[in-house]
């Protein structure tokens, strides 16, 4: 544990993966595990494992800011379910990591406390919104980390930082104690350097929870080698079209991953997901609507810093001024799409498109077991390059949003043996049927352990 904090002190001044640390508590907990080892006591699998936690999850007695001035003085009063499960495992929490404010972004530049930088090149973004968690793992400042994925916020930074990130089936991990952004999309997911690390973390945090009515039980066990070898891989033609704006190097890298799977004995076939081109548009109608409802609770009365104004309207204005530009933008968009006269034209139609996208996946999974696709349309971009162009940032979700709309499990991992001219890895994702988390992780683990860099 002391070694991890040594690395943090050496690197985090530049990377800025963390918003707060819990060094004293972490070393104390590590000491307890040491004592148990010395006494030859049985230990759970994650005992002593150093974890980073995205700062939109509650750890009792620690800050929970969601990277917003709105919550900069808020201290959590209880543990999120995932944290309670990890505490039962004697895992150790290094600190809370940076994110785009309220998880709204793809670059971790929209944090109220400053951006996180990509450990591979500090002039570039780490992806988002779980950029702090991904950067902490990639920089050696944590062994594994927890992030949250709404439209791609685990998979996107995993791809940009060259690590592994997993979005479970919607509901497979309890959202109790996760600061809500868009409740029909939000999923807590693990990040690590290997698929096996991600599997072990997911296996602990998954499962049905009485505090979360949307939670479900899913398979976390990896299938045996024979079952994995028999899986068929679909390649969606829409993810490689010129309309998607995918860069040449991304196509080259993902096609290299396709060939690597074929060399391992997997069958690949082209499939079609015809409504993919509508995914981003549908998401950016539904998500702001849910976000505007969820963020209505931040009124200066119940959470964070209380407003000083003596009149109610003034108190609301004072409180809402603590929101950054991106949350304000999404609140306005969401409120508009839910307003009288516009609900059917925008929100209801977006939900219909969401169902069409689900139907596309259901049809595809009649012929294949998993789907292989890019995670991002390009490699990491420079800090500040897109921060003033919301549309360009929203389009970063073009390949991750469809699985989110359908509630599917999706695993991001780097293409082995590939680097761009700038030296960045390129990530690809494996998407599976709802509830088939074990199969997605199994085939990803097979690739990770059988293909060399």
What are the catalytic residues? 54, 129, 153
Q: How far is CA 405 from CA 82, 139, 205, 270, 351, in A?
A: 23, 31, 22, 22, 9
Q: By three-state DSSP, how is residue 188 classified?
A: strand
The DSSP-derived string for 9-57 is: HHHHHHH--EEEE-HHHHHHHHHHHHHHHHTT----TTTT-EEEEETTB
Sheet of 370-374: strand order equals 18-21, 92-97, 50-54, 144-149, 187-192, 164-167, 410-414, 427-432, 370-374, 232-236, 267-271
Beta bridge partners of 212: 209
User: Residue 194 CB: number of other CB atoms within 10 A?
Assistant: 16
- Alpha-carbon distance of 18 to 255, in angstroms, equals 35
- Alpha-carbon distance of 148 to 116, in angstroms, equals 16
CB 331 within 8 A of CB 79: no
Beta bridge partners of 192: 144, 164
Please state whether the peptide bond connecting residue 309 to the residue before it is cis, i.e. omega within 30 degrees of 0.
no
- Alpha-carbon distance of 27 to 383, in angstroms, equals 34
- Alpha-carbon distance of 406 to 354, in angstroms, equals 7
251: tokens are: 């196509």
HEC secondary structure over 251-276: HHHHHHHHHHHHHCCCEEEEECCCCH
Burial of 117 (0-12, 13-18, 19+ CB in 10 A): buried
- Alpha-carbon distance of 370 to 236, in angstroms, equals 11
318: tokens are: 């004072």
CB 178 within 8 A of CB 125: no
Q: Roughly how many angstroms between the first and final C-alpha of the chain, as a whole number?
A: 29
C-alpha radius of gyration, the chain, whole number: 21
């Amino acid at each position: 544990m002391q070694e991890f904090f040594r690395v943090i002190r050496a690197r985090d001044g530049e990377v800025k993966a963390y918003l707060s640390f819990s060094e004293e508590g972490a070393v104390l907990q590590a000491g307890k595990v040491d004592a148990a080892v010395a006494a030859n006591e049985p230990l759970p699998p994650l005992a002593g494992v150093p974890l980073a936690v995205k700062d939109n999850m509650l750890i009792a007695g620690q800050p929970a800011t969601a990277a917003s001035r709105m919550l900069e003085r808020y201290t959590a009063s209880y543990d999120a379910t995932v944290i309670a499960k990890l505490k039962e495992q004697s895992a150790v929490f290094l600190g809370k990591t940076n994110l785009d404010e309220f998880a709204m972004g793809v670059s971790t530049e929209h944090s109220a406390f400053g951006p996180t930088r990509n450990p591979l090149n500090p002039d570039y973004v780490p992806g988002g919104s779980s950029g702090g968690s991904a950067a902490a793992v990639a920089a050696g400042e944590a062994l594994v980390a927890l992030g949250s994925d709404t439209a791609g916020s685990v998979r996107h930074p995993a791809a940009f930082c060259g690590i592994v990130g997993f979005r479970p089936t919607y509901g497979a991990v309890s959202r109790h104690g996760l600061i809500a952004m868009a409740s029909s999309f939000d999923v807590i997911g693990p990040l690590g350097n290997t698929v096996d690390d991600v599997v072990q973390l997911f296996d602990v945090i998954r499962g049905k929870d009485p505090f979360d009515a949307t939670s479900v039980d899913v398979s976390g066990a990896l299938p045996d080698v024979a079952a994995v070898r028999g899986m068929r891989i679909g390649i969606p033609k829409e993810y490689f079209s010129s309309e998607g704006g995918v860069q040449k190097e991304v196509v080259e890298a993902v096609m290299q991953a396709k060939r690597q799977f074929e060399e391992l004995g997997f069958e690949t076939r082209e499939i079609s997901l015809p409504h993919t081109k509508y995914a981003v548009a549908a998401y950016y109608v539904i998500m702001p609507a849910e976000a505007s409802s969820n963020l209505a609770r931040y009124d200066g009365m119940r959470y964070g810093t209380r407003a000083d104004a003596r009149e109610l309207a003034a108190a609301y204005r004072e409180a809402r001024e603590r929101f950054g530009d991106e949350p304000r933008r999404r609140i306005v968009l969401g409120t508009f799409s839910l307003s009288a006269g516009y609900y059917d034209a925008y929100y209801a139609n977006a939900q219909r498109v969401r169902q069409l996208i689900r139907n596309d996946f259901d049809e595809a999974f009649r012929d294949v077991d998993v789907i292989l696709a890019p995670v991002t349309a390009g490699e990491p971009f420079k800090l500040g390059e897109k921060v003033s162009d919301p549309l360009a940032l929203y389009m970063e979700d073009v390949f991750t949003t469809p699985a989110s709309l359908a509630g599917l499990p999706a695993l991001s991992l780097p293409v082995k043996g590939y680097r761009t001219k700038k030296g960045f890895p390129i990530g690809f994702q494996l998407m599976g049927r709802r509830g088939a988390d074990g199969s997605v992780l199994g085939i990803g683990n097979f690739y990770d352990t059988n293909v060399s860099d």
